[in-house]
Amino acid sequence: MDDDRPQFLPWQADILQRALSLQQQQHLPHAVLIDTPGEQDITGFGRYLSMLLLCDNPSGLSVCAVCEACRMMQADTYADFNLVTLEHNEKTKKLNKNINIEQIRKLIHEVNLTRQYERMKIALIYPAEAMNKSSANALLKTLEEPAARVLIMLVTHNPGHIPVTLRSRCQSWSINPPTREQALNWLREQGVEDATATSYLQFASGDPVLALELQRNDYASLVAQFKSSFSQFLRGELSVSDLCRGLLSAETAIIRRLINMTLNAYCYQSSGVDADAESRSGADRRSAQALLELRHRAQYQLQVEENNLDLQLQLEDVLISLKQILSRRLI
Ligand SMILES: [Zn+2]
């Protein structure tokens, strides 16, 4: 298969089929809210779905890749397709946390312009949950008075974070998470051996796209190395700064995941779910509470953007607190 050809993930096929069937029956709604599992960027899927609906000669769920719409969509020059997503702040160069009202106003303007081609116009908003209140309000008016032959697609990982006023004006479509078999097959196609795939799927709570990303970052080695350094740190054989320095070569998102996973594991252990009687003393109940608080605090503390001194300081703080809680538990 030609690798440059746009593709979709097997578990996204149902939604593509549904969209295509509705289009064939001329029953496509003017607005849809697509809720998708996982946390990985799925702009590619949104683009593919748009391309499929615009393609002159789709075959099954495959785009032809050669018609005018396909070629322009691939070159990102198709005038009747608009993508609204998180942008980088010009000053700080960091990714904005919100889709702001200017972006939505611009989109509404584009949507109301005369179409350049015979096909419908598509507006894709992803991640839709990143629209702030004023953006959502601005979009609401457009959803209430839809322009002809325009499809507005909101794609989200968190449908609960979309205002109900918006949700109620969209048809809701859900992409189901992959089955274990689909996940394993897909990872096999990406060249990941079954045993590795199984352990990485566990790290990724069943999400194969995340599992692949973790595998490419050699997450298992990072976990093994961290486990061993963390035990040394608990025994007082390694300083907190050396412990953190060992982690900081990894990407921030990966470090955050590792720390969350570690804290979750301790929280689970101290919850009593899998513990024997001797690990459920009164002192343990207090450390269980302290662990839960630390996990909550760490989620905020580690929300720094890049690997820098700030991250190292926050990491050190979290790990020192964890050591204190664990050493109290041993008394
Ligand atoms: Zn085509």
The arithmetic mean of pLDDT across residues 260-267, rounded, is 90
pLDDT band at 2 (very low <50, low <70, confident <90, very high): very low
Structural domains in the chain (count):
2
Tell me how far the alpha carbon of residue 2 lies from the centroid of ligand 1, in angstroms: 15
For position 103, what pLDDT does the model report? 96
Are 62 and 152 in the same domain? yes
Tell me how far the alpha carbon of residue 227 lies from the centroid of ligand 1, in angstroms: 51
For position 192, what pLDDT does the model report? 96
Tell me how far the alpha carbon of residue 25 lies from the centroid of ligand 1, in angstroms: 19
The arithmetic mean of pLDDT across residues 294-312, rounded, is 80
Long-range contacts at 142-148 (CB < 8 A, ≥ 24 apart):
142/108, 142/111, 143/30, 143/31, 143/169, 143/170, 144/169, 146/30, 146/31, 147/30, 147/111, 147/112, 147/121
Residue 197 domain-assigned (yes or no): no
Per DSSP bridges, beta strands 31-35 and 150-156 are: parallel
Between 249 and 106, where is the model more confident? Answer: 106
Tell me how far the alpha carbon of residue 67 lies from the centroid of ligand 1, in angstroms: 4
Domain end call among 177, 209, 238: 177
Tens-place pLDDT, residues 33-65: 999 988 888 899 999 999 999 999 999 999 999
pLDDT band at 279 (very low <50, low <70, confident <90, very high): low
Residue 238 domain-assigned (yes or no): yes
Give the max Cα distance, the chain: 75
Residue 21 domain-assigned (yes or no): yes
For position 331, what pLDDT does the model report? 45
Tell me how far the alpha carbon of residue 21 lies from the centroid of ligand 1, in angstroms: 17
Which two tokens mark 287? 């450390």
For position 146, what pLDDT does the model report? 83
Are 120 and 221 in the same domain? no
For position 5, what pLDDT does the model report? 59
Are 259 and 152 in the same domain? no
Percent of the chain with pLDDT over 90: 70
Tell me how far the alpha carbon of residue 113 lies from the centroid of ligand 1, in angstroms: 24
Are 42 and 95 in the same domain? yes
Range of the domain at 63: 10-177
Are 143 and 227 in the same domain? no
For position 118, what pLDDT does the model report? 87
Residue 195 domain-assigned (yes or no): no
What DSSP state is assigned to residue 62? B
Are 22 and 122 in the same domain? yes
Are 45 and 120 in the same domain? yes
Are 153 and 17 in the same domain? yes
Tell me how far the alpha carbon of residue 287 lies from the centroid of ligand 1, in angstroms: 60
What DSSP state is assigned to residue 131? B
Tell me how far the alpha carbon of residue 80 lies from the centroid of ligand 1, in angstroms: 15
Are 157 and 25 in the same domain? yes
Tell me how far the alpha carbon of residue 72 lies from the centroid of ligand 1, in angstroms: 10
Tell me how far the alpha carbon of residue 169 lies from the centroid of ligand 1, in angstroms: 30
Are 162 and 52 in the same domain? yes
Are 232 and 172 in the same domain? no
Residue 44 domain-assigned (yes or no): yes
For position 281, what pLDDT does the model report? 65
Residues 199 and 10: their CA atoms lie apart, in Å, by: 21
CATH code: domain of residue 23: 3.40.50.300
Between 91 and 32, where is the model more confident? Answer: 32
Tell me how far the alpha carbon of residue 56 lies from the centroid of ligand 1, in angstroms: 5
